[in-house]
């Protein structure tokens, strides 16, 4: 019985419509060479999510593809036709994942969003109801301290017949913390119960000490 409940919880959280799933992670493009670097932590998060879904839903219900965002979008920034029948999971914030940027630009009913401070070139979280911002407290030299992230799950505003789920941190620790939380059945239940007007949107707090891949603990704010 527990396995069935967890199956339903994962499907309910991601809002999966059935069929195929694309998990898009970040890519860092070096100028002017155009060299593509993929953050290892985001790849690890993507495959952890793939395993979570594969272990939680019947295998014949979906085909899961993991890719950097560059392979999901056309040169004009549109969804490639072959992926329009896929539910979407996004890893990483708008600075290094243009799919995340595209979705956030089109989602006008969110309380929380992740934005880029063009003075510091850093992410921050913006609360549209209060006007307050949340910024990372990570010491970037030693990578110790508190990072923050966002978990958002909703219908895809650029592909409404399908769902989108976004896991993003101000730094890598916030993203890793978000993934750790949805891997917990108790937290997953909390997230599903928090859905309002069709949207789950929660702030993640992640504590780390020396390595963003080794988040000591994470919790929902």
In order of 3, 53, 61, 80, the CA distances from 58 in angstroms are: 11, 9, 6, 26
User: CA–CA separation, 14 vs 193, rounded Å?
Assistant: 13
- Taking Cα atoms as reference points, which of 78, 59, 52 lies closest to residue 165? 52
> Count of domains in the chain?
1
- Domain carrying residue 189: 2-220
Q: Coil, strand or helix: which one is 195?
A: coil
pLDDT of 31: 62
Two tokens at 95?
Answer: 């600075």
Full pLDDT tens readout for the chain, 221 residues: 445 545 668 888 988 877 789 999 998 776 665 667 777 788 889 999 998 888 875 544 568 899 999 899 888 888 898 988 899 999 999 999 999 999 999 998 899 999 999 999 999 999 999 999 999 998 877 778 899 999 999 999 988 889 999 999 998 889 999 999 998 888 988 999 999 999 999 999 988 887 656 676 677 87
User: CA–CA separation, 104 vs 113, rounded Å?
Assistant: 7
Q: Coil, strand or helix: which one is 70?
A: helix
pLDDT of 214: 67
This prediction has a pTM of: 0.91
What is the maximal distance between C-alpha atoms in the chain?
Answer: 55
pLDDT of 216: 67
């Amino acid at each position: 019985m527990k396995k069935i409940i967890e199956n339903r919880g994962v499907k309910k959280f991601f809002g999966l419509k059935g069929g195929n799933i694309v998990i898009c992670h970040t890519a860092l493009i070096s100028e002017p060479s155009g060299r593509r670097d993929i953050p290892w932590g985001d790849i690890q998060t993507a495959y952890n999510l793939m395993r979570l879904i594969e272990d939680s839903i019947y295998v014949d219900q979906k085909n899961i593809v993991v890719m950097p965002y560059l392979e999901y979008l056309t040169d004009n920034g549109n969804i490639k036709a072959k992926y329009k029948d896929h539910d979407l999971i996004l890893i990483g914030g708008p600075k290094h994942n243009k799919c995340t940027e595209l979705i956030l630009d089109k989602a006008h009913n969110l309380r929380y969003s992740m934005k880029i401070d063009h003075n510091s070139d850093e992410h921050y979280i913006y609360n549209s109801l209060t006007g307050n911002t949340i910024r990372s407290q990570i010491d970037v030299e030693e990578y110790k301290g508190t990072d923050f992230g966002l978990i958002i799950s909703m219908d895809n505003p650029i592909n409404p017949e399908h769902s989108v789920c976004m896991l993003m941190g101000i730094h890598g620790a916030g993203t890793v913390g978000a993934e750790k939380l949805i891997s917990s059945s108790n937290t997953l239940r909390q997230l599903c119960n928090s859905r309002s007007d069709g949207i789950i949107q929660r702030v993640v707090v992640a504590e780390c000490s020396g390595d963003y891949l080794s988040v000591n603990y994470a919790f929902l704010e």
